[in-house]
Structure 1
Amino acid sequence: MQNALSSAPYLTPEALQAFIQSALAEDVGDGDHSSLAGVPADARKQARLLVKDEGVLAGVALAELIFAAVDPSLQVKVLLPDGSRVKHGDVALTVEGPARSILTAERLALNCMQRMSGIATHTAYLNSLLAGTKAKLLDTRKTTPNFRICEKWAVLIGGGVNHRYGLFDMIILKDNHVDYAGGIRQAIEATHAYLKKLGRKLPIEVETRTLAEVQQVLEVGGIDRIMLDNMAPPMLREAVALIAGRFPTEASGGITEHTIAAVAATGVDYISVGALTHSTKSLDLSLKAY
């Protein structure tokens, strides 16, 4: 596990605050009327964040930022940092301060932590299935709109590797790009012309569906990674042998916990799994007064 804040360029203070303010605007609107109506303004209370599941904890650092954004006077004590292995009954953190503020921040902090912890847990599990191979586990852009920053952060906390963050920081020529361009050579050559015109340098990855397409990429060159899409392990082995280390390889397409070990054993460098972020069960957490 790692402290992603130190290594992910998208995790800037500005981006995190923009996410938090947008999420609070969605949830709080013109006021937390339940708390304003039912809780005395001068009440000071405390609460603990309880773990009711087993897995890898994520979103703790984000929760600290959420509590501070709602009310800087709230005092958060972190007992279990991001990346901790947790079990039912563990206490991740405590928070103390104005009761109304605790209640206003509660749901956003929990929603983020539950989702992020589920993703980190799934990532750590799939990573464990890669033991003994060189394959690295990648996420994808199959994320929840406006929640990508948290989901990709959670993948890092779980021990995975982020693929491109968005459409702007890497070029991936997928099947539709290749088909629309008229073929692999045309797509790669057009990409080089485009980048030269812009004066930009971006990594280029090309998706291939057959060994013939792999051979075409090798003949054209000028790229940074070859994606091997929806290939069964025998074909993956052939593709890896054909590429022979000239470019890094990425296996992709419908890879599950039942198939990932066999895919990794073929010698690919990366395995991308969209299910890390689009099909993960949240970890059960709750915030309880004490």
Structure 2
Amino acid sequence: MYSVQHIIETALKEDIGPGDITTNNLIGPDAEGRGIIIAKDSLVLAGLGVAKQVFEYVDSEICFDPGHKDGDILKHGDIVMEIEGRLRSLLAAERTALNFLQHLSGIATHVRSYVNVLEGKNVRLVDTRKTTPGWLILEKYAVRMGGAHNHRMGLYDGVVIKNNHITVCGGIKKAIERIRKNTSHFVKTEVEVSDMEGVREAMEAKADVVMLTHMDIGQIKKAVSLISGKIVVEVSGEITKHDLIPLADTGVDIISLESLTQLATCVNITMEINEVF
């Protein structure tokens, strides 16, 4: 699994390559200055620590004065962070640092708009594994900064028996029996179902969590009524923001949305050099 440091190294090598040909031919190696990173949109901040690591990777002597922390709500014109150091270093790291900030803050901002819709509702909003390859750990962090929760991080930390598993194993009961035989008793088992027959099979096999997928509101209400609090109920599928309140009102425990990461767009954050020494 890639670490944040690995992601940063890859991004910088991708952008800088053998050197910043523009900056290195315009600015001397000893020139120093100060800059500010500014929010140009209203946003929920995420990725501040990652941006700081980008600058530090380029030059460990850069100094920082963060004006905010991840999870804060910023408005247009707010100063995210002040930075000071060698100008070559600041400018070489600028784009990569901003890419992280803009993308992760975009996810956090998008997620917060969904979380706000569900304010006061007794339901947990979670993401999915549909993330940008290589960025999973960062995008799921941004989801948390937006106020939602993570589903499993990957295939390694949670059992979710899906339709293809069920097909291969010959049914829900057989799949659950097999997974419980081969995993620790501490591991909870979730199973994906798309009709009431699947709900009944999951209950009979004593699944810990049932994921209702691509079921309409009427079917979901029937499933919740049948389950009656005996196991945790998650609803998933092609869910939009407009579906959140009706789904929450069915009594499900969890709503999982791929759109928390898939539909988020970058916010506008910029850096300006405002003083040269």
- TM tier, shorter chain? over 0.9
2:7 equivalent in structure 1: 19
Specify which of 255, 265, 271 is matched with residue 281 of structure 1. 265
Secondary structure of 2:92's aligned partner? helix
How much has 1:54 moved relative to structure 2? 1.2
Whole-angstrom CA distance in 2 between matches of 1:26 and 1:155: 26
Give unmatched runs, 5+ long, in structure 2. Answer: none
How much has 1:212 moved relative to structure 2? 1.1
2:246 equivalent in structure 1: 262
How much has 1:68 moved relative to structure 2? 1.4
TM (normalized to structure 1)?
0.90
Specify which of 52, 68, 74 is matched with residue 86 of structure 1. 74
Whole-angstrom CA distance in 2 between matches of 1:112 and 1:255: 27
2:239 aligned partner, one-letter code: I
The answer to whether the aligner puts 1:203 opposite 2:188 as a matched pair is yes
Secondary structure of 2:33's aligned partner? strand
How much has 1:271 moved relative to structure 2? 0.5
2:94 aligned partner, one-letter code: E
Whole-angstrom CA distance in 2 between matches of 1:203 and 1:26: 40
Specify which of 169, 175, 196 is matched with residue 157 of structure 2. 169
1:127 equivalent in structure 2: 115
Whole-angstrom CA distance in 2 between matches of 1:54 and 1:230: 34
1:216 equivalent in structure 2: 201
How much has 1:224 moved relative to structure 2? 2.3
The answer to whether the aligner puts 1:49 opposite 2:49 as a matched pair is no
* Amino-acid identity (%): 39
The answer to whether the aligner puts 1:272 opposite 2:260 as a matched pair is no
Give the alignment's Cα RMSD to 1 decimal.
1.6
Give unmatched runs, 5+ long, in structure 1. Answer: 1-9
Whole-angstrom CA distance in 2 between matches of 1:84 and 1:129: 18
Tell whether the 8 Å contact from 1:133 to 1:267 is kept in structure 2 after alignment.
no
Count of residues in correspondence between the two structures: 274
Tell whether the 8 Å contact from 1:75 to 1:97 is kept in structure 2 after alignment.
yes
Whole-angstrom CA distance in 2 between matches of 1:200 and 1:240: 26
TM (normalized to structure 2)?
0.94
**Stretch of structure 1 that moved more, 23-32 or 236-245:** 23-32
